[in-house]
Chains A and B, each alone.
Chain A
């Protein structure tokens, strides 16, 4: 395990596959991760464009 720091910033409204979410950008020393949340702040999608990774709630 490695300690580090991240920052989390709101990106406002964001859309994916025709749906609108609330976006949060998580930034570490070497990565940017986009979290897409529904109106209840539930995680619906996680995207790391640089790595072509998507994590999608079923």
Chain B
């Protein structure tokens, strides 16, 4: 999966914060408390919708639109960011993360358009992320990652609304 991340990290100066494509929130105190919370437990999310301006050194380099809303008995956090760094080509990145009411992820779909179009689909179950990566011009690549906990935070490249989900976990 490193290949996938690197393909979306052409803009290192902006995507600094996204060393991890998927991050397990092992140290998140609230998440730790909820490890024993059943999936039908209390809802931790609140509906939200907004726009973000991404600045680098005080200069605007991108914008993101996002929405967090109930969906099919769970929640959907989706967003699209368009980034144009001072040096480099523009990029459009989209992500859709479906979550259980207690914050545990169910699935994640990601796509990025630069010179090529790449995407990934991730299914989460029992603390395992089953990833299918689709890079333009390459065969789909599959990988499983184990986290040891169903409470997994997804922090993807240049999709900052996912940090809005984090405080809810």
A residues in contact (CB < 8 Å) with B? 1-9, 24, 26-31, 33, 35, 37, 40-43, 46, 48, 50-58
Contacts and interface: CB of A to CB of B under 8 A. Distances in A.
Contacts of B22: 1-3
A1 B58 CA distance: 29
Contact of B145 (A1, A9, A54): A1
Contacts of B168: 41
Interface of B: 1-2, 4-5, 13-14, 16-17, 19-30, 46, 48, 50-58, 64, 120, 122, 129, 131, 133, 145, 147, 153, 155, 160-161, 163-164, 166-168
Nearest to A40: B46
Nearest to B147: A3
Contacts, number: 129
Given A29-B19, A30-B19, A3 B24 contact: yes
A6 B16 contact: no
Contacts of B19: 2, 4, 28-31
B26 A5 contact: yes
A43 B46 CA distance: 12
Contacts of B56: 51-53
Contact of B24 (A4, A35, A51, A55): A4
Contact of A2 (B21, B51, B161): B21
A16 B28 CA distance: 24
Contact of A55 (B48, B57, B160): B160
B117 to A, nearest CB: 17
A51 B16 contact: yes
A26 to B, nearest CB: 7
B131 A35 contact: no
A9 B56 CA distance: 25
Contacts of A6: 20, 23-28, 153, 155
Contacts of B30: 8
29 contacts: A1-B5, A1-B20, A1-B122, A1-B131, A2-B2, A2-B19, A3-B24, A5-B25, A6-B20, A6-B25, A7-B27, A8-B28, A8-B29, A8-B30, A24-B166, A27-B27, A30-B19, A35-B166, A41-B167, A41-B168, A43-B163, A48-B17, A53-B14, A53-B17, A53-B54, A53-B55, A53-B56, A55-B55, A57-B52
